[in-house]
Each structure stands twice: as structure tokens, then as C-alpha cells.
Amino acid sequence: MDLFKKMAEEGHEQVVFLRGKSGKLKAIIAFHDTTLGPALGGTRMFPYASEDEALIDALRLSRGMTLKSGAAGLSYGGGKGIIWGDPKKDKDELLLRTYGRFIQGLRGRFITGTDVGTYPRDFVQCSTETRYLVGMPVEYGGSGDTSVLTAYGVFLAIQTCVEEACGKKDLHSLTIAVQGVGKVGSKLCRHLKEAGAVLLISDIDKDAAARVAAEVGATAVDPKEILSVQCDVVSPNAMGAVLSEKTIPHLKCRIVAGGANNQMATPEDAERLYKRGILYGPDYVVNAGGVIQVADELDGYNYDRCKAKVETISSLLKTVFAISKAEGINTEAAATRMVKERVRKILELKATLAPAK
């Protein structure tokens, strides 16, 4: 990969490669844009097939965090940590503490917490070496599990998308296909069940799918088929890049809205959805509940205040839909335009001399 060319194409500022002396830790931290403030983003641990695959994920996810924080009105930039390894086999105290020392060495430029493959308890071990952590367990002074409010935000987003596409918020009897029933997806299913939706679910972990299906009365579907089932809403809540030139033609839904990051394989996929008349809830708006929570934690966490902020996801989506209709552009382009305009205004503000004290 031509890394500098790739960074220039997507506007990245910095990529840091980390290796523990024991050789066990292999990590990447990508900084996308810190105009709005220090980079805030989770750390993902995953057994990537190659170094390039890990790097591409770091770049993609960090850009998503810039958009997510920008759309949610937060004063933080976009960054993402990647630990290349199997969280079930490779994670231990030495690895996590080593990672923590590297984060501390960045002196607050990167603030991190949980993502796929990492949990609040992991960062208790990291906290021995660094203070730049969020999403810690409540008993350690953190705000706890970010998937709770993330799932709540995704649920509200689905309601808003249904209102836009169908003219009603009521989800009763609508069929919703949930891809991935992990930390966020399983909680989302509980909200959807309470709202009366008919649920089709899938997960690469068959035991997890069976467990959630039994709990919420859902029908478990083969993971290879979940994106092509007949339904009203497809909700991706697993890994990214599931919406592509290959999968979009097979969608049989009116809406796509879910908690997964970077759902589209390429920028062109948003246009493909738009041309098919499928309403897309941009993922970095839909799943912003987690980053809203951890940003609030940095200001002294208050659950009620944070929940109220998460509930603004609905109004943000309505703004995106209004821009899309007014300008005749897809919703991803509309959301990106909204964020870029905010970044531009903040840059202008920072160019203004502060008054003398």
C-alpha cells in the first residue's frame, strides 16, 4: 500500500505503528482529523488476515470517528486504535499494559475505549499505564457499557428512518433483519421486540444467535442470507463493508440503518442505495450513542444528560434527510457535507485571535 497517498486521499494526519518489546503487541493508531479537538475513538482487537487489512480498517474507522463526532456536535476529532490479534487467545495483562504505555506517550492526543474485541475490564489493566481512557466500568469511575446507549440510539434512528420512508414511527409488525447480535445488536433486538417488530437475526456465532432468538422470539437466519431476506429494514450491527456492489442489488428492504461502523465497502455504495430508492441512515449518525457517552464522561458523566444527547440523533437524521431531498444527493453525501461545514466553521473560529486576558 502507498500509505502517504492513501492518507492524502482521505485526509488523514498521522498513523502510528506500535510494537511491544516482547513482540506480542502489534497495534496501529490512526489520526484522521483533529480540527475539532483530540482524537477520540475506540480500540478494536481483531485477527486480521494481513497487515494491510488491519491498516485499512484503522484508516476507515478513524475517518468514521471524525464524521461521528462532528455530526454529534462534539469537540473531538477522529482516531482509532487497532490491536492486531485474536482477543480470545492473545489478550493478556502485558499486552494491555504495553498498549496503555504507548497511549500515555501520546500525551492526550488520543483518547480510547472499547470496540469490537475489547471490553471495559480490559481497560482497567490499561489504566495502570495511562489516564487517557473512557468507557471504564462504573466501579472504576467510568460510565460503563457504551453498547447500552448505542443500541438505544440505533433504535431511535430506525424509528426516524421508518417515519421518513413510511410516514409513521410505529414499528409494530414491521420486519427488521438484524445482522449481528453482539454487544449492540442483542440490546437493539430487545428494543425492537418491545416495539412489536418481527425480527430476523443472524450472527457468525450460532450459539449467540440461538440465544438471542429464544430471548426475543426472533427467527435465526443463515448469516449468508440475512442481507437478502424480504423485510422492511436491514440493520447491520457486525463488521463493516457489508454494503457493496455485490450485496446491494440483493437487498429487499426500504431502509438500511444499523450500529456497525463503515457499512459501505466504497463511497459509491451510498449512491447505489440512493438509486435503488433505499433510505440509508448514515452509520456514523445512527451509532453515535457510544461516542456521545464517552465524550460526556470526559466532562463528568451524567446519565440523564447523556441520554438526552443521544435522543438528538433523531433530529440529526431529519436534518440529513432534508439536505438530501433539497439538494438531490444521497444521505451519506448529505451527512458528510453537514460535518464538513461544521469543521470549516470551527477552523474559521480558530483563525480568529482570542481576546487578551
Give catalytic residues, as residue numbers: 80
Query: Is residue 71 within 8 Å of 284, Cβ to Cβ?
Result: yes
Helix axis angle for 183-194 and 147-166, nearest 10°, is 50
Cα distance between residue 156 and residue 162, in whole Å: 10
How far is 154 from 188, CA to CA, in rounded Å? Answer: 7
| Residue bearing cell 431502509 | 255
Amino acid at 235: S
Whether 46 and 84 have beta carbons less than 8 Å apart is answered as yes
Closest among 306, 329, 293 to 184, alpha carbons compared: 293
Among the listed residues 55, 191, 57, 192, the one whose alpha carbon sits nearest the alpha carbon of residue 115: 57
Nearest-angstrom CA–CA distance, 26 and 84 = 6
